[in-house]
Amino acid sequence: MTDHRAQVDQLLADYRRSREQLASVHRELASISESATSDDGLITATVGARGVLTGLVIADEAYEKYRPAELAAQIVKLTGGATVKALTGAGEVLAPALPSGTDPQALLLGTADLGAQEIAAADVPDDEDESFDDRSWLDEADWPRAR
C-alpha cells in the first residue's frame, strides 16, 4: 500500500512541477515584445510573442514623406520583421517545455500537425471567378437583386 502511495505522491509532484513550468513559460511568453523601426526612424512597429501588432508609432514627418500605400507597405514590412524576431524568442522560451522533436515555431504558427502539402499555398482562383473589383459599392443598380 505504501508503494502505491509513493507512486501517487510522485505523480502529483511531477504534475505540480509541470504546472509550474507551464505557468513560467506562459509568463515569459506574455512578456515577449519585439520592435522594428524603419531606416529613417519614422515608423516603429511592436508585436507580441505570436506576432500580433501591439504598438505602432508613426512620426508626423512620415505622413509627409510617404504616400499612403508606401506607409502601409512600411508598416507591413516592419511588422513582419518584428514578428520574425518575436517568434524566434517565443520558440526559445517554449522549446524546453515541449516534447523532444516538437518544432516550437510550427506550434506557434499553428502548423505543428500539418504536412507540407497541407501548408502549401492555396490554389490561385481562376479568372472566371466572379470579381467585384470593378463594381461600385455605392451604386446599387450594378448589383443583382435578391429574389
Q: What would the DSSP string read from start to end of 26-82?
A: HHHHHH-EEEEE-TTSSEEEEEETT--EEEEEE-HHHHHHS-HHHHHHHHHHHHHHH
Q: Quick one: which of 27, 41, 35, 23 has its CA closest to 86?
A: 35
Least confident of 9-18, 45-54, 124-133: 124-133
For residue 1, name the pLDDT band (cuts at 50, 70, 90): low
When comparing pLDDT for 39 and 104, which is higher?
39
3 state SS of 83? helix
Distance in angstroms (rounded) separating the CA atoms of residues 97 and 131: 47
Q: Which three cell numbers stand for residue 79?
A: 511588422
When comparing pLDDT for 107 and 87, which is higher?
87
Least confident of 13-17, 55-59, 63-67, 81-85: 13-17
pLDDT of residue 97: 85
The Cβ of residue 28 has, within 10 Å, a number of other Cβ atoms equal to: 16
53: phi then psi, degrees, rounded to nearest 5:
-65, 120
User: In the predicted model, is pLDDT for residue 22 greater than 80?
Assistant: yes
CATH number of 1-98: 3.30.1310.10
β pairing state of 33-37 and 53-58:
unpaired
What percent of the chain is modeled with pLDDT above 70? 79
